[in-house]
Structure 1
Amino acid sequence: MTVGLLLLQQPALARTDDRNQPIHVVHADSMDGYNEPNSMSTFKGNVLITQGTMKLTGELARIWTAKEDTSVDHIIVTSIAPKRPHIEQTDDNGNLMTGDADQLYYDNVNGIAILTGNAFVHQQNKGDAHGAKLTYNTQTGYMVGESGNNGPVTMTFLPKQKPLPSPKNGKPATPAPTPAKPAAGSPATGAAKPASASSASTKE
């Protein structure tokens, strides 16, 4: 079963300019390959790859270049226990999208991220989705989920956030103080005090 999922509800959905940014391998413990057209390079150990606001992390990543030049065609990040591939991106409204799966395929030409194997995507202030396979468009935010052996596609939609009531006169309302209760055995407030014996007048 395949289910199309549209999570975001605003015209400016995902990040529209990340694909115009260069791809950086910020960190890896080791690397081997060629910086040539139609080639593949392998990066191992604490791999961090960025493109604008987008980040890819994992223990093993392979980058394929285009046939005609050294621009990136696609990236595959493979799971090595206990660390799974991870993707995150901040959209044009400042909301963070995060995703985790057993394998992450990023199509740099079309801006498509495919998360396979117990895939989970969370979108800040909007909701999350879980499925055997989730395909996420990093430019539009449109997502397609597919069920599999791990169970059906599931999804959570967050309720609309209601604004807090405006404070009165520009100041937050403060509760009226509660009057203290008189101590047990003490005279009630306002009760007349009996005259003392020394102040009583006597007539001879």
Structure 2
Amino acid sequence: MFLRSLPFATAFLLLAGPLFAQGASIGFGNSDHDSSLPVEITADQLDVNQTDGRAKFTGNVVVGQGEMRLTGEVVDVEYGDAGTGTTEIKRLHATGGVTLVNGSEAAEGQEAVYTIESGEVVMTGDVLLTQGDNAMAGEKLTVNLQTGTGVMEGRVRVVFQPQEQQGAAQ
């Protein structure tokens, strides 16, 4: 019996071994994300400081851009250069039970920083990524929405669900 499971164990270690190192590369969402799309934000409250070009959304905050959704209790928004009158958003910093959803994937963490121009989202604090029935957890997830790629870092833990065999149940 041990010899039968040896090829499976060897294959698993060769394929999944790198995932248990300090970082693991993953796919996230699709590579069709367009960071030039409008950003829509809803919240219970908004505080604006025009002097430093920032706005603070508080309470049930939902940020949407295309298919991507970012939620949290507080989202600080940093606009273009203060004093220029531009309303272009440069960066979003979400805190408090943050969730990022893009397509069929979702990630949860304590906080996230989304840099609009680069399409990069960095999530930290007990991050959990779910992709279908599979799950990955770590301390930091960096996602590039434009390429649909990501890296999980910090004692990465992965749960893979086996795929059902084709034609097994007929």
TM range (shorter): 0.7 to 0.9
Structure 1 contact 2–145 (Cα < 8 Å) conserved: no
SS at match of 1:155: strand
Counterpart mapping for 1:50-89 below 5 A: 50-67=64-81, 69-79=86-96, 84-89=97-102
RMSD, aligned CA:
2.7
> One-letter code of the match for 1:86?
T
Alpha carbons of 1:66 and 1:157: their partners in 2 closer, same or farther (altered >3 Å)?
farther
Bigger share in strand: 2
Q: Percent identity?
A: 25
In structure 1, runs of 5+ residues without a counterpart are 91-95, 168-204
Q: Number of residue pairs matched? A: 148
Q: Contact 2:119 / 2:145 at 8 angstroms: preserved in 1?
A: yes
Q: 1:60 to 1:159 in 2, by over 3 A?
A: same
State the partner residue of 1:20: 36
For residues 16-165 of structure 1, what are the structure 2 equivalents within 5 Å? 16-25=32-41, 27-33=42-48, 39-67=53-81, 69-79=86-96, 84-90=97-103, 96-124=104-132, 127-147=134-154, 152-164=155-167
Letter in 1 for 2:35: R
**Partner amino acid, structure 2, of 1:28:** A
Shift of residue 66, structure 1, vs aligned partner: 2.1
Q: What is the alpha-carbon distance in structure 2 between the residues aligned to residue 15 and residue 124 of structure 1?
A: 18
Q: What TM-score results when the alignment is normalised by the length of structure 1?
A: 0.63
Closer, same or farther: CA 166–157 of 1 in aligned 2, 3 Å: closer
CA 1:108–1:52 in structure 2 vs 1: closer, same or farther (change >3 Å)? same
The higher radius of gyration belongs to 1
Equivalent pair of 1:18/1:53 in contact (CA under 8 Å): no
Instruction: Give the alignment's TM-score, normalised by structure 2.
Output: 0.74
Q: Does the C-alpha gap of structure 1 residues 65 and 2 become closer, same or farther in structure 2, counting only changes over 3 Å?
A: farther
- What stretches of structure 2 of length at least 5 have no aligned partner? 1-19
Aligned to 2:14: none
Bigger proportion of residues as helix? 2
> Which secondary structure state, in structure 1, belongs to the residue aligned with residue 93 of structure 2?
strand
Alpha-carbon distance change, 41 to 107 in structure 1, aligned in 2, over 3 angstroms: same
